[in-house]
């Protein structure tokens, strides 16, 4: 039989436990749907998919449209009589291997955390990581000291600190403009005292790979004297006391709630002021959280944003299965809401996504 080459589809460095981020895998399935592929040759089940559900659903779909999948290592064809039974058994082994590997990595990181050893390649602003040790970057360390001093000693607000950094053209940790949420997280980071808190976030499970904040679900480890300090423990403690006091005052005065990942990141495209978070209660729908311009509705025609609805819209636009605050904070720099209800999302790398916020959309 003569074969006609139809291309190679490879996702390098992407886990096979899910297909959401495997762009070339999805491109291959689309090509099969378009009739451009008749037979798919793959090295092994593990190279095709390690999630049993994804594997069987994909193979069944391809089989329904007349596309055969051949697994070289296991010598299985999806078109054979016992092909699906064998795939189910072997895919379960592949998925279990991924789970076991995930547990081993989790155990290794936990043991490293107990010893105060840094395993992540990234370092907080003001430091660089070298052979698992944090080393001070002098010019950035001065910015960190300035932020703590301005907020705690000079009695400036987070908004004022952020505005001053941007006015002085000091690049943010991502090389763009500073946001209030970035400044707030920096002021909360105990790493600047020369100590480290491990386990602030964790991966939910080995299939979703979704990173979530640790509110006590997993152990956390505090290690002292792991690296050179940028600020004193006394200054850090004083800063936390002021932050906590401001948070409590905000709750009492505005019926707002604790820090949210949208804080400082939603900006009014009409007047440039940040959006604030408000809590209100109705008899029919209970407590609901909204975001609106500090000038709205008297001066600005920008939309009032319903928090849960905005989270769902952002999840859809940014390709998340469900909205993740940690993923949002790591990726997004600012959200600008225009008077025509256009929402412009700017990522830390400078890329933008736009979508229309529909005011008349059914609220849930």
Residue 197's closest CA among 102, 124, 136, 129? Answer: 124
Contacts of 221 (CB under 8 A, 6+ apart): 113, 114, 116, 197, 198, 199
Decide if pLDDT at 188 tops 80: yes
Contacts of 165 (CB under 8 A, 6+ apart): 143, 147, 172, 178, 183
233-254 and 138-148 helices, crossing angle to 10°: 50
Q: 19-23, 100-104, 302-306, 309-313: which has the highest mean pLDDT?
A: 309-313
Decide if pLDDT at 171 tops 70: yes
Q: Between residues 333 and 45, which one has the greater pLDDT?
A: 333
Burial of 188 (0-12, 13-18, 19+ CB in 10 A): middle
- CA 44/CA 30 separation, integer angstroms: 21
Q: Beta strand 221-223 with 305-306: parallel, antiparallel or unpaired? A: unpaired
Q: Is the pTM of this model over 0.75?
A: no
- CA 339/CA 137 separation, integer angstroms: 42
Instruction: Identify the pLDDT of residue 84.
Output: 67
Decide if pLDDT at 327 tops 90: no
Pinpoint the residues of the chain covered by CATH 3.90.1750.20: 116-253
Q: For 88-117, what is the mean pLDDT?
A: 59
Q: For 125-129, what is the mean pLDDT?
A: 92
DSSP string, 321-355: SS--HHHHHHHEEEEEE-TTSEEEEEETTS-EEEE
Lowest-confidence range among 53-62, 250-259, 327-336? 250-259
- CA 278/CA 304 separation, integer angstroms: 10
Residue 11's closest CA among 1, 23, 20, 3? Answer: 23
Lowest-confidence range among 39-53, 134-148, 208-222? 208-222
Rounded to 5 degrees, φ, ψ at 187 are -65, -20
Decide if pLDDT at 208 tops 80: no
Lowest-confidence range among 54-58, 217-221, 264-268? 217-221
**Is cis: bond before 297, omega within 30 of 0?**
yes
Decide if pLDDT at 32 tops 70: yes
Decide if pLDDT at 116 tops 60: no
Instruction: Identify the pLDDT of residue 360.
Output: 47
CATH ID of 1-114, from 3.20.20.140, 3.40.50.1390, 3.30.465.10, 3.40.50.300: 3.40.50.1390
Lowest-confidence range among 13-22, 127-136, 348-357? 13-22
Query: In which element (H, E) is residue 159 found?
Result: helix 158-167
Query: Percentage of residues in the chain with pLDDT exceeding 70?
Result: 70
Decide if pLDDT at 120 tops 70: no
Structural contact between residues 289 and 309, judged by C-beta atoms closer than 8 angstroms: no
- CA 258/CA 189 separation, integer angstroms: 17
Q: Between residues 39 and 360, which one has the greater pLDDT?
A: 39
Decide if pLDDT at 193 tops 60: yes
Contacts of 298 (CB under 8 A, 6+ apart): none
Q: Between residues 88 and 121, which one has the greater pLDDT?
A: 88
Q: For 23-37, what is the mean pLDDT?
A: 90
pLDDT range class, residue 362, cuts 50, 70, 90: very low
Does domain 116-253 fall into CATH 3.30.200.20?
A: no
Instruction: Identify the pLDDT of residue 108.
Output: 59
Rounded to 5 degrees, φ, ψ at 133 are -120, 140
Decide if pLDDT at 56 tops 50: yes
Q: For 57-76, what is the mean pLDDT?
A: 85
- CA 304/CA 310 separation, integer angstroms: 10
pLDDT range class, residue 252, cuts 50, 70, 90: very low
Instruction: Identify the pLDDT of residue 150.
Output: 93
- CA 34/CA 363 separation, integer angstroms: 37
Residue 296's closest CA among 266, 255, 322? Answer: 266
Structural contact between residues 324 and 211, judged by C-beta atoms closer than 8 angstroms: yes
Q: Between residues 273 and 148, which one has the greater pLDDT?
A: 148
Instruction: Identify the pLDDT of residue 96.
Output: 63
pLDDT, the chain, mean: 78
In 10 A of CB 136, how many CB atoms? 16
Q: What residues does 306 pair with on adjacent strands? A: 290
Rounded to 5 degrees, φ, ψ at 356 are -90, 125
Decide if pLDDT at 361 tops 50: no
Q: Between residues 128 and 15, which one has the greater pLDDT?
A: 128
- CA 239/CA 246 separation, integer angstroms: 11
pLDDT range class, residue 253, cuts 50, 70, 90: very low
């Amino acid at each position: 039989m003569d074969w006609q080459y139809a291309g190679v589809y490879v996702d390098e460095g992407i886990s096979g436990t899910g297909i959401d981020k495997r762009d070339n895998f999805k491109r291959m399935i689309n090509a099969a749907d378009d009739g451009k592929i008749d037979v798919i040759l793959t090295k092994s089940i593990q190279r095709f998919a390690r999630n049993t559900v994804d594997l069987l659903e994909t193979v069944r779909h391809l089989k329904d449209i007349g596309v055969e999948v051949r697994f070289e290592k296991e010598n299985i064809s999806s078109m054979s009589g016992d092909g699906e039974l064998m795939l189910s058994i072997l895919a379960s082994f592949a998925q279990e291997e991924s789970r076991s590997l995930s547990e081993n990595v989790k155990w290794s990181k936990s043991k490293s955390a107990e010893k105060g050893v840094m395993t992540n390649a990234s370092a907080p602003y003001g430091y660089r990581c070298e052979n698992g040790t944090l080393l001070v970057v002098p010019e950035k360390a001065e910015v960190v000291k300035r932020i703590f001093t301005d907020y705690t000693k000079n009695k400036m607000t987070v908004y004022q600190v952020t505005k001053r950094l941007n006015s002085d053209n000091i690049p943010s940790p991502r090389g763009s403009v500073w946001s209030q949420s970035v400044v707030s997280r920096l002021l909360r980071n105990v790493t600047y005292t020369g100590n480290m808190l491990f386990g602030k976030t964790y991966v939910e499970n080995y299939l979703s790979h979704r990173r979530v904040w640790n509110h006590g679900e997993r152990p956390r480890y505090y290690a002292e004297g792991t690296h050179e300090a940028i600020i004193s423990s006394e200054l850090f403690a004083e800063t936390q006391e002021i932050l906590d006091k401001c948070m409590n005052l905000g709750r009492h005065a505005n019926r707002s709630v604790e820090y949210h990942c949208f804080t400082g990141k939603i900006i009014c495209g009409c007047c440039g002021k940040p959006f604030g978070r408000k809590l209100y209660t109705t008899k029919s729908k209970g407590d609901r959280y909204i975001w609106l311009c500090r000038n709205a509705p008297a001066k600005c025609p920008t939309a009032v944003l319903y928090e849960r609805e905005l989270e769902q819209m952002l999840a859809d636009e940014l390709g998340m299965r469900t909205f993740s605050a940690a993923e949002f904070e790591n990726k997004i720099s600012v959200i600008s809401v225009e008077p025509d209800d256009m929402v412009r999302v700017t990522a830390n790398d400078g890329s933008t996504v736009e979508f229309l916020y529909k005011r008349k959309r059914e609220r849930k």
